[in-house]
Each structure stands twice: as structure tokens, then as C-alpha cells.
């Protein structure tokens, strides 16, 4: 996949592509230009994944703030 990672790409697909790029880079079989292109694409994918994780973490914080309450064994025993 070429170009920047886009919003329609899934996190899992981006991670799979990133893992493939890392394996290619580690293989030592890429020439200099291919290595540079793979590194650039990997940086794009890494930034995309980091942003997606940050977004999901923020959503979880919002959900937890509205849904989580302190649980105590005494509340359960009285209920």
C-alpha cells in the first residue's frame, strides 16, 4: 500500500503492514532507496497507529468517567 495511512485503514491492517515492512528492513535485502521508502512508510504507519491508540484511549476515559463507579462489598451485601 502506498501513500499515507488514511482514516479508512484499520488499525490491524496498518500494524500488519508495519510488521511486514520491519521484516523487510531487517532482512537486509532492500537496496538503499527501497530501505528509505520502507522507512518513510513505516513512519507514516507508526504515526497513524499511535493516533488511533490515543483516540481509543480518550474514548475509554470518557466512557469510564460516565460509567464506572466505586464498587464496595458492603453495597453488594445490602442490595
Q: Domains (ranges, CATH) in the chain?
A: 11-69 (1.10.287.1040)
Quick one: pLDDT at residue 74? 64
**Confidence bin at 67 (pLDDT 50/70/90):** confident
Helix axes 32-67, 11-27, angle to 10 degrees: 150
Q: What is the pLDDT of residues 14-49, one digit of tens each?
A: 999 999 999 999 999 999 999 999 999 999 999 999
Quick one: pLDDT at residue 1? 45
Task: Decide if 23 contacts 58 (C-beta within 8 A).
Answer: no
Average pLDDT, the chain: 86
By residue count, the chain amounts to 79
CA distance 18 to 26: 12
Amino acid at each position: 500500500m502506498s501513500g499515507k495511512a488514511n482514516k479508512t485503514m484499520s488499525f490491524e491492517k496498518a500494524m500488519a503492514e508495519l510488521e511486514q515492512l520491519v521484516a523487510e528492513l531487517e532482512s537486509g535485502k532492500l537496496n538503499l532507496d527501497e530501505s528509505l521508502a520502507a522507512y518513510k512508510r513505516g513512519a507514516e504507519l507508526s504515526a497513524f497507529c499511535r493516533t488511533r491508540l490515543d483516540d481509543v484511549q480518550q474514548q475509554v476515559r470518557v466512557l469510564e468517567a460516565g460509567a464506572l463507579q466505586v464498587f464496595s462489598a458492603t453495597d453488594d451485601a445490602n442490595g
